[in-house]
Structure 1
C-alpha cells in the first residue's frame, strides 16, 4: 500500500516519469544498474533494511541520486543518510509539493531538504562537535555574508532573511550567490549542511505575528 501510494504521487508530477520499481534491496540495486534512472526514490526501509549503519553499504552509485523517503523520521536516520551521500531526505509526512521539488533538484545535480528538516538538522548542535577556532570558511565571508549564512542554516527563506536584516530581497539574493561562489557550494541545502557540520549557532526561526 505504501509503495502503491508513492507511485500514485510520483505519477502526478508532470515532468517526471517512473521507469521502474523495486520491492527489495537486491532488486533496488539491479534495477538501478539496469535502468540508470536520473533519480532514485526509495523508502528508508529499502535503503537501510539492517539499520542506520547499512546506509554506508549502499550499492555503488545508488546513494548519489537518491531521494530517501523516511517512513520513521529520526535524527539518527537523517544524519546517517546525509553522511552517506543521499541527496534528499523527505519524511513520509512531507507536503506533496516537496516530492516534486526534491526530484527536480536531485535530477539537476543539486539537493533538497524540507524547511522543517533543515531547521531540525542545524538545531541539533548537541550532536555536533564544536570548533574552538574560527572555521576557515567564515574567514572568506564578510560580516553581512556570515549573517546571511547563519540565517540560511536556520532554514530561513530569502524573504525572511530580508525582513530579519532589513534588506531588500534582491540584496539577499546577491549575498546568497556570493556565499555559494566563495564557499564553492551548490545550493542552500549544502549551506545548511555546512552550518550544521561546523556547529555554528543558527538563529531561531522567526515568530509569526
Structure 2
C-alpha cells in the first residue's frame, strides 16, 4: 500500500451506507478506507492520528458533538454526515468537527470534502450552510469554470496550471477574481460554490 494514501475511517451504523462510503473512498487514487466500523468503540483501536473520520451515526446533535469532540481531541479530522437541517451542523462543528456533509451529497462532493478536511480546512455542504452566495454564477467565465472544476476535483494550483497549459501566476489571478465574485477568500468556499452550481470534474468546459 502506498504511504502517500490518505487514511479514511468510515464509522456508520447503517451497513449498506457504510459499505457505499468505503467503496467511494477506495475508488479514489489518493485515499484508502483503512477502518470500517459500526461504532466508535469498535473502531478506536485502529484509528491513527491524522486519519479522516467519516462519522455517520444517527445520534442527537448533542451526543454527536460529544463523539466529534473526543475524536478531534485525538488528532483526527472529523467529517460528520448530517441530515438536511442547519440545526444539526453547529453542535459538532463547535465541538471540533472539521466538516458537515449532507447525506444527500454525491461522490464528487464526498471526496472533495475529505480532501479539504484532511488539508486542515473546514467544509459544510451548500444545502446545510446558512450563508447564501451572491449571484455570481452568471459572471463566471469559461476559463474560471475550468479552474473551478479542477479545484473541486482536488487539483493544486500547480496541477491546474499544468492541466490548462497556463502559468501558476495566471491561475492565481483567476482565483483572485473568483474570490471577489464568490465573496470569500477561502479555497473551501470556492469548492463549495463549484459543487453547488454543478461545476464539477468532467464538466464539458473542463479539459480531460
When normalised by structure 2's length, the TM-score is: 0.55
- In structure 2, do the counterparts of structure 1 residues 173 and 84 end up closer, same or farther at CA, with 3 Å as the change threshold? same
| Structure 1 residues 52 and 179, CA gap change in structure 2 (3 angstroms) | closer
Match of 2:95 among 77, 84, 88: 84
- For 1:5, the equivalent position in structure 2 comes to 20
User: 1:155 and 2:165 equivalent?
Assistant: no
Q: Return the offset for 1:86.
A: 1.4
Matched, 1:53 2:62: yes
Post-superposition offset of 1:75: 2.1
Q: 2:124 is paired with a residue of what secondary structure?
A: coil
Larger Rg belongs to: 1
How well do the aligned residues superpose, as a CA RMSD in angstroms? 3.7
Instruction: Give deviations 1:137-166, integer Å, cap 9, x for gaps.
Output: xxxxxxxxxxxxxxxxx2358x53846xxx
Structure 2 residue 73 is the aligned partner of structure 1 residue 42: no
- Structure with the larger helix share: 1
Is contact 1:22-1:31 (8 Å) kept?
Answer: no
Q: Given the two structures, how large is their TM-score scaled by the length of structure 1? A: 0.54
**1:67–1:103: 8 Å Cα contact kept in structure 2?**
yes
Question: Which has the larger share of strand?
Answer: 2
Q: How many residues align?
A: 144
1:65 alignment counterpart = 77
CA shift in 2, pair 1:5/1:161, >3 Å: same
Distance 1:98 1:40, change over 3 A: same
